[in-house]
Structure 1
Amino acid sequence: MKFNPRTFDPNGPGIPGQLFGLPFTPQTAELIIVPIPWEVTVSYHTGTAQGPQAILDASSQLDVLVKDIPNAWQLGISLLPIPEGIRTESDRVRHLAEQHLRRLERGGEPEGVDPLLPRINEACESLNIYVKATVLRYLKEGKMVGLLGGDHSTPLGFIRALADHYPHFGILQIDAHADLRKAYEGFTYSHASIMYNAMKLTSVSRLVQVGIRDLCNEELQMIRRPKSRIVTFFDEDLKAQRYRGTTWDAQCEAIIRELPEHVYISFDIDGLDPKLCPHTGTPVAGGLEFQEAVYLVQRLVRSGRKIIGFDLNEVSPGKDDDWDANVGARLLYQLCNWTAVSRGRLQLRN
């Protein structure tokens, strides 16, 4: 189907089936969203593999005006077709992962011994290879790229692609969890190990974590080890400072100060207050308000730093409403447009 941006009315209803109802295809868009409906290693609730479709469905009722970015919709954003093959493979491998987890719960084979693990880890590595190849294709075409999961294991291939593209960059991780466990539950590419795996890449010069409020001693030791490249802004510390009068603006400045010029944003939706994402896989009390998260991204861009890519993960739609997807769609739109501002593809209002 062909769409004509010249005849598109941003004040009218969006185009059904199009991300944010916008009239763009992967060929005509400047920013590509790669959907990855994958949730093999989730350790609590499932449902995140449905996130891309749910966000697509909810996005059509979003108003495309961004107050500080004139004609933001004209950027051109397009979601690649949601790959049903990945969703089918996720379901198949998730079945194996559930067998493995049941064995662990029964006190069976210790982690790393279960013969199912090599098959699971191999499937996850195949996904990483697919994601890296897809991202590199669009980066080479000069497109901006974002990834829409799925669980939080999904962007590792993206980060690997950026490591091939940039000599040095930082990661801004907004999350309830540190995700620094080594092969959690035996899964090399666990959603709880994404940042452990990312930090193996020497191109990642800094990991700045915001909103962390659920972690284990192994992760704390990794954060605190000498010459660590990790700076963590724990949720309880941010809240305590706020109670004593520190503003969120000042805290954002401190967070951004730790980041280099080029920044990748990894946004786990559970970094928000769970009232905004009640069906996410592993909700944790506390977290950021929606506008606090958006303000942090805005301040990052206004500081002159460039967003070289981003992911949004762990959006899990509820059975009876689309609240999680509604919030996720709005957050995704903000990430898209402020990424474009940081790259000079959109201009701020004077």
Structure 2
Amino acid sequence: MPFITENKKVGLLGIPFSKGQPRGGTEQGPQAIREAGIVEKLEQLGTQVCDHGDLTFDYIENDTPDGNVKNPRTVGHANKKISKAVSDIIYNGQLCLNLGGDHSMAMGTIHGHAQVEPDLVVVWVDAHADINTPLTSPSGNIHGMPLSFIVKELDGYVPTVKGFEWVKPCLSVKDLVYIGLRDVDPGERWIIEKFGIKAFSMQEVDKLGIREVMEQALKAIDPSGTRPIHLSFDVDALDPTITPSTGTPVHGGLSFREGQYIMEELANTGRLNCIDVAEVNPSLGNKEENTLTTETTLEVLNKCFGQKRGGGFPSNYVMPRAEKTRTSCSSTKSH
């Protein structure tokens, strides 16, 4: 079986951003993933990669909180820029692969994707729900709020925040599914239950198994099997024993095998259209932990592009033929 069935170009976009949370270092994530060989690995799979480089961001001085929201103007303006860049890549027919960066970037990536593909669905693989509103967030850190700004049903629960005037809700709760949750705030739990968002915590993963989780998840958001998929993957969805260099680790996460299976099943749909990789933080942990985190991330990510654990070959692979064929021999019985 080939690695990939469709020779679609991948538009690689670096989003070196960290102001959606208090720990510096996620701005180094794109470079760490690049240095780990993301481009080379994708090309080995027969994928055409168009590297759009890294976005640059303006950090607004004296960006005082707006209510409970920290760094609102910096994060808001950054996500507006992210939305435009993602929209341009997808408009040009490329699968957009976003290397973050903290998870506040997903506000911009999903918004940008929706400008081109308004019928999209979102698979959110994360230890956290990231759907706090500015009024329910315990911390005020926007990397825990990105979904609340773009979910239509929460429009009446989200106050106006300086820097976010441009954001228009573009995603319905029925088009969102969570996988891997295990650290959910009370306000987020209320939202999930109030609006019936399909959510598979680690308890459901343990109970049902990852195969059943994926079947139910995809059926819930796309029963017709026709809609473009946006994958937003926070590396803290995986257990911190395999991705230690991240800002908000939570024990009891997805195993390496479960992470790979999720990506394999998404790749099998043939409808992955945009992928976020968030919260790789090389400033946390030692060299060995950094290497483990990036290598694990790449191995899991490769499965999105059709890499098979059972082996495969690039779509352009040509089997070499021998110049001289061997002569077969037959055995005979001696009497």
- Aligned counterpart, 1:174: 125
- In the alignment, structure 2 segments of 5+ residues that lack a partner are 1-7, 153-168, 308-313, 317-335
- Aligned counterpart, 2:13: 34
Which stretch shows the higher mean deviation, 126-135 or 178-187? 178-187
**RMSD of the alignment, in Å?**
3.0
Contact kept? 2:86, 2:109, Cα under 8 Å = yes
- Aligned counterpart, 2:237: 271
- Aligned counterpart, 2:277: 312
Match 1:149 to one of 100, 107, 111: 100
Matches within 5 A, 1:1-350: 30-43=9-22, 45-59=23-37, 73-83=45-55, 85-86=56-57, 89=58, 92=59, 112=67, 120-183=71-134, 184=137, 187=140, 190-200=142-152, 201-204=169-172, 205-225=174-194, 228=195, 230-239=197-206, 241=207, 246-260=208-222, 261-302=227-268, 304=269, 306-317=271-282, 318-321=285-288, 322-337=291-306
Provide, for residues 234-266 of structure 1, a one-character-per-residue CA deviation record: whole Å limited to 9, x for no partner. Answer: 112322x1xxxx443223212222121322110
- In the alignment, structure 1 segments of 5+ residues that lack a partner are 1-28, 65-70, 101-110, 339-344
Using the TM superposition, give the Cα deviation of residue 281 of structure 1 relative to its aligned residue in structure 2, in angstroms: 0.6
Using the TM superposition, give the Cα deviation of residue 311 of structure 1 relative to its aligned residue in structure 2, in angstroms: 0.4
Local SS of the residue matching 2:232: strand
| CA distance, structure 2, for counterparts of residue 80 and residue 128 of structure 1 | 17
Name the CA shift for 1:60/1:181 in 2 (closer, same or farther; >3 Å). Answer: closer
Local SS of the residue matching 2:148: helix
Q: What code does the residue aligned with 1:30 have?
A: K
- Aligned counterpart, 2:329: none
Local SS of the residue matching 2:245: coil
Local SS of the residue matching 2:17: coil
| CA distance, structure 1, for counterparts of residue 220 and residue 199 of structure 2 | 10
Larger relative helix fraction: 1
Contact kept? 2:200, 2:213, Cα under 8 Å = no
Contact kept? 2:231, 2:272, Cα under 8 Å = yes
Provide, for residues 128-185 of structure 1, a one-character-per-residue CA deviation record: whole Å limited to 9, x for no partner. Answer: 1211111122222222211111000012122112222223221101100111111236
- Aligned counterpart, 1:26: none
| CA distance, structure 1, for counterparts of residue 68 and residue 221 of structure 2 | 39
Contact kept? 1:132, 1:160, Cα under 8 Å = yes
Using the TM superposition, give the Cα deviation of residue 37 of structure 1 relative to its aligned residue in structure 2, in angstroms: 0.7
Contact kept? 2:131, 2:145, Cα under 8 Å = yes
Contact kept? 1:269, 1:312, Cα under 8 Å = yes
| CA distance, structure 1, for counterparts of residue 45 and residue 278 of structure 2 | 23
Q: Where has structure 1 moved over 6 Å in runs of 4 or more?
A: none
Contact kept? 1:171, 1:207, Cα under 8 Å = yes
| CA distance, structure 1, for counterparts of residue 39 and residue 72 of structure 2 | 38
Provide, for residues 169-202 of structure 1, a one-character-per-residue CA deviation record: whole Å limited to 9, x for no partner. Answer: 2110110011111123685x70000122231334
Provide, for residues 287-326 of structure 1, a one-character-per-residue CA deviation record: whole Å limited to 9, x for no partner. Answer: 1112212212222343x46112110100112342322122
| CA distance, structure 2, for counterparts of residue 192 and residue 295 of structure 1 | 26
Name the CA shift for 1:75/1:152 in 2 (closer, same or farther; >3 Å). Answer: same
TM-score by length of 1: 0.70
Q: What code does the residue aligned with 1:249 have?
A: R
Q: Determine what percentage of the aligned residue pairs are the same residue.
A: 25
Contact kept? 1:206, 1:229, Cα under 8 Å = no
Q: How many residues align?
A: 277
Local SS of the residue matching 1:258: helix
Name the CA shift for 1:319/1:203 in 2 (closer, same or farther; >3 Å). Answer: same
Contact kept? 2:264, 2:303, Cα under 8 Å = no
Contact kept? 2:20, 2:75, Cα under 8 Å = no
Using the TM superposition, give the Cα deviation of residue 220 of structure 1 relative to its aligned residue in structure 2, in angstroms: 0.6
| CA distance, structure 1, for counterparts of residue 25 and residue 119 of structure 2 | 34
- Which has more radius of gyration? 2
Name the CA shift for 1:217/1:346 in 2 (closer, same or farther; >3 Å). Answer: farther
